[in-house]
Amino acid sequence: MFIAIVQLPGVSRGKEEAIASGLASSGKFAGMDGLHTKYYLNGENGGGGVYIWEPREKAEAFYTEDWYPAMEKVFGVRPILTCYDNYVVVDNDAGEVRVEGEAVDPGEAAA
C-alpha cells in the first residue's frame, strides 16, 4: 500500500464549507483506478487529504509536476506532498493486523 498526505497550509475553512468542498470534488475521486480511500482534512493550520493507493505507480501517475500548479491555482497555495510505503496495518474495526494486505497473528509475527 502507498499513502500520500497532501497539506494545504493556511487553507482553513469552517466545517460546512469543508464538507461542501469535499462533496464537490468527491466525484473526481470516486472509482479512481488505484485509489482505495481518500480522507479530506480540515483544521486550524490548513486543509488537505490522505490518499491510500495500490499500487504505488497509480499514485505516481497522479502526482505529476503538472499537479502542483493545478492545486495552487485552485487553493492559492502550493501543496506539500509527503509519501510513504505502508506494510503493516492495525485494523481495529476488522479486529486484525495485516502485513501487505494479509491478516497475521501479531504474536507469531513478532517471534
**pLDDT tens-place string over residues 16-74:** 999 999 999 999 999 999 999 999 999 999 999 999 999 999 999 999 999 999 999 99
2 pLDDT above the threshold of 90: yes
State residue 6's pLDDT score. Answer: 98
State residue 107's pLDDT score. Answer: 81
- Give the angle 95-59-81 at the CA atoms, nearest 5°: 95
90 pLDDT above the threshold of 80: yes
55-38-11-79 Cα dihedral, nearest 10 degrees? 0
111 pLDDT above the threshold of 80: no
Reduced to 3 states, what is the DSSP secondary structure of residue 18? helix
pLDDT in tens, 75-89: 999 999 999 999 999
More confident residue, 68 or 108: 68
